[in-house]
Structure 1
Amino acid sequence: MKKALLITDMQVMPFVWKDYGGKAIYQEERLLENTKRLIDKARMGNSPVFYIMYTEPEGSLRSENQPLWQVHPQIAPAEQDHVIIKYHADSFLESELDTQLRDHGIDTLAICGVQTEYCVDTTVKSAYSRGYQVELVNDCHSTYDSDELTAEQIINHHHRILAPFAAIVHSGDVRF
Structure 2
Amino acid sequence: MKKSALLIIDVQNEMFQENDPVYEGNRLLYNLKQLIATARSRAIPVFYIQHNDEGLKEGTEAWKINAEIAPAMSDSIIQKTRPDSFYNTTLEEELKRQGIEHVMLAGMQSELCVDTTCRRAFSLGYSVTLVSDAHSTWNNSVLTAQQIIDHANATLRWFAAIKTTEEVLFTEETGA
Q: TM-score if structure 1 supplies the norm length?
A: 0.93
Give the C-alpha shift of residue 61 in structure 1. Answer: 5.7
Q: 1:65 and 1:105 mapped to 2: Cα distance?
A: 31
After TM superposition, where is structure 1 displaced by more than 4 Å over at least 4 residues in a row? none
8 Å Cα contact 1:62/1:69 also seen in 2: yes
Unaligned runs of 5+ in 1: none
Q: Deviations over 1:137-165 (max 9, x none)?
A: 01100000112111111111111111110
Specify which of 103, 112, 118 is matched with residue 109 of structure 1: 103
- Of residues 138, 144, 164, the one that matches 2:138 is 144
CA distance in structure 2 between the aligned counterparts of 1:96 and 1:24, rounded to whole angstroms:
29
Q: Percent identity?
A: 42
- 2:88 pairs, out of 68, 81, 94, with 94
Aligned residue number for residue 77 of structure 1: 71
The superposition leaves residues 28-77 of structure 1 with CA deviations (integer Å, 9 ceiling, x where unpaired) of 10000000010000000000000000012xxx462222211110010010
Structure 2 residue ranges without an equivalent (≥5): none
Alignment of 1:39-78 (within 5 A): 39-56=36-53, 60=54, 62-78=56-72
Q: CA deviation at 1:24?
A: 2.6
Q: Which residue of 2 aligns with 1:33?
A: 30
Partners in 2 of 1:61 and 1:130 — Cα distance?
A: 29
Letter in 2 for 1:105: G
Q: Tell me how large the CA RMSD over aligned residues is.
A: 1.1
CA contact (8 A) 1:8 1:114 kept: yes
